[in-house]
A and B are shown apart, each in its own frame.
Chain A
Amino acid sequence: MPVKNQTLSEKIFTLVSIFLLIILSVIMMYPFYYLLVYSFNEPMDAMRGGIYIWPRKFSTIAYRTVFQTRNIGQAAWMSFLRTFVGTSVSLFCTAMLSYVLSRKHLVLRKFFNKYFIITMYVSGGLIPTYMVIRSLRLLNTFWVYIIPGLINVFYMVLIRTYMEGIPDSLSESAEIDGANDWTIFIKIMLPLCGPILAVIAIFTAVGHWNSWFDNFIYTSRKSELTTLQLLLVNMLKQHAVTRSSDLLRPDQRTMAITQESIRAAITMIVTIPIILVYPFFQRHFTMGIMLGSIKG
């Protein structure tokens, strides 16, 4: 946009815009910041309220309690494991399927594409899917986190579109040199798809890290498979209506730690990995969603 010769109303527009964007940023960031402050405040004191931008009585007891609780360590490990295994396996499989469906000479190419794309619009739904997973004896196993969601059809379309944009001459010359499709996929296409794979990898990893519904319905009987997210869900649902602060009289509040502070601390622990990886991948997101909107 040319900046020269701004009229008064345009200058006002700019000022108002800046003001609105600052407000927006505060609204977006403050909830995270508030819980961070809350988690570092002394738990009993925090329940009195009135904390805005700084802990009134600094304390790390919430975090110390969290790290001493054994099932939280186990849950963190499970969250990490499913994110790591799930992302690597899903990414590789989705890329492989995308490669096959991007080959222009593939027999029945249209049919195979439709086979997957139709399922974006029609799905069996919760109960039939549950039944299938139950009959496969996947309930209460680690693999229920990985296998049912192995391929995300939308991501497949994104990677396929990217692959279709890569000149055919590269794979053709490899074919002439006697390379088969597996070799072309591994040696040529995968390295060339770096940018889009990075985007899909981060989407998939965030999805795995954030997911709890499969944990909630498929593996709730097996406590060692509980992830951090489900742990938080359970704590939240137990105390959704009856916050301890709403129930107890001041003289009853004798315990040193509260459910709210523990929850705040875990919330921070779950959020921090996202915030840490966020800046590195942030610039790729735009590209990913652009591709999506072109195809979508």
Chain B
Amino acid sequence: MKLGTDYSNVEAPNMKSNIQIENKVIAKTHKNKYWGAFGRQRYLLAMLLPFLIWGFIFLYMPLYGWVMAFMRYSPGKPLFSNQWVGLEHFRVFLFESGEFGIVMRNSIVLSMLGLIFQLPLAVSLAIIIYELPFRIFKRTVQTISYLPHFVSWVIVANLFFEIFSRQGVLNNLLLMLGIVREPIFFLGEPGLTWPILTATRVWKGVGWDSIIFLGAISGIDPNLYEAAYVDGCNKFQRIRHITLPGIMPTVSVIIILSAGAILNTGFEQYYLFGTPANRLYSDVLDTYVYRYGLAMGQFSFATAVGMFKTIVSLIVLFTVNSIFKRINEKSIF
């Protein structure tokens, strides 16, 4: 390579062509480097290859399966010999099933209720834990508070079915305190479905969520607290003017992510707590897809509903993200 050309003696036009040649040389070596890299990185690429294949099969093939949503698919037939029906399944789901409104309402309301209660509680818990001076006590409380995160919804359902049962401890307590006269059948009462689902969800998640905010609080510059202390701020003023603004970016990110997941309520909790008596209030998109797809075998229809869910979620995620970007200058992308 002639990279060391002395330009000082060369006239202007010549210099230009020299640079062009030089660029070509660089481009060529770059290209060689690029292809040569495959040879030199053969170990690395050999380690990667199985996962590319795995990803193709288990992450991308299902996306390809979305074509089923536009067909009248019957199992056993080769995929493309099924009849195309266009947007038929989407139309049926949105306008004819009569269930679209119910499952959408339940999914959105339950997600929102979860967020509305869990977020402020988790933030408060984090602030309280941060402000308290007793280390061992704090540690213990924290450890206890996120234990429920590590047990499955099956366990949670079992625990609360027993507590909420007619002879359960909650009814006993309410009777003893004279709040109710008759034992309440909590899980058979449609009106209590949303409160119960929200309460158990918050119970399971609040401690775990508080870790995120504790992390955010410990990321705040300690000098700010020092300065506030010197200026005579009390604890409440510090919380109000330093801690809360300091964790707002984190809160924004959590809200954006929750918005994107507003239809992804998950399956387990709603399936386990769901009974025919409360289905009108506990049926969410995920349980709906399961019921139509796997329990009733309407594969195409269920695929269409699932596809609808994913696409709407993405649209919501990007919309909320761009709104936050504009007003808050905080976003995840």
Contact = CB atoms under 8 A, between A and B. Distances in A.
B147 A128 contact: no
A103 B152 contact: no
Contacts of A34: 159, 162-163, 169
Contacts of A279: 143
A236 B63 contact: no
A13 B235 contact: yes
A243 B165 contact: yes
Contacts of A10: 234-235
A296 B132 CA distance: 28
B48 A112 contact: yes
B299 to A, nearest CB: 5
A24 B294 contact: no
Contacts of B55: 115-116, 119, 151
B167 A97 contact: no
B178 to A, nearest CB: 16
A210 interface: yes
A209 B155 CA distance: 12
Contacts of B60: 119
B49 to A, nearest CB: 10
Interface stretch (B1-9, B18-26, B303-311): B303-311
B175 to A, nearest CB: 9
Contacts of A185: 47
B51 A286 contact: no
B167 A48 contact: yes
Contacts of A100: 44, 47-48, 51
B59 interface: yes
Interface stretch (B95-103, B106-114, B209-217, B323-331): B209-217
Contacts of A97: 47-48, 51
A282 B143 contact: yes
B158 A49 contact: no
Nearest to B153: A210
Contacts of B155: 210, 232, 267, 270-271
A188 interface: no
Interface-centre pick from A25, A116, A126, A136 (highest chain B CB count, 10 A): A126
Interface of B is mostly: helix
Contacts of B177: none
Nearest to A220: B294
A264 interface: yes
B166 A246 contact: yes
Interface residues of B, number: 102
B158 A236 contact: yes
Interface stretch (A58-66, A70-78, A158-166, A211-219): A211-219
A106 B332 CA distance: 26
Contacts of B143: 278-279, 282
Interface residues of A, number: 98
Contacts of A51: 169
B303 to A, nearest CB: 5
Contact of A28 (B38, B158, B207): B207
Contacts of A212: 152, 154, 268
B302 A127 contact: yes
Contact of A127 (B68, B169, B185, B215): B68
Interface string B23-61: 000000000001001100101110110011011011111
B317 A107 contact: no
B303 A127 contact: yes
Contact of A241 (B37, B47, B58, B277): B277
A126 B65 contact: no
A1 B138 CA distance: 14
24 contacts: A14-B132, A29-B147, A31-B160, A32-B147, A93-B51, A107-B38, A122-B310, A123-B63, A124-B63, A125-B307, A126-B293, A126-B306, A127-B299, A131-B65, A132-B61, A147-B54, A147-B58, A181-B41, A206-B150, A212-B268, A236-B154, A236-B157, A267-B155, A296-B257
Closest 8 CB pairs of A and B: A124-B62, A128-B65, A49-B167, A125-B306, A210-B152, A128-B62, A31-B159, A181-B43
Given A24-B145, A240-B161, A240-B187, 20 more contacts: A21-B138, A29-B147, A31-B159, A49-B168, A100-B48, A124-B306, A125-B303, A126-B306, A127-B303, A128-B61, A128-B303, A131-B65, A136-B57, A147-B58, A206-B150, A217-B290, A236-B154, A240-B275, A289-B215, A296-B332
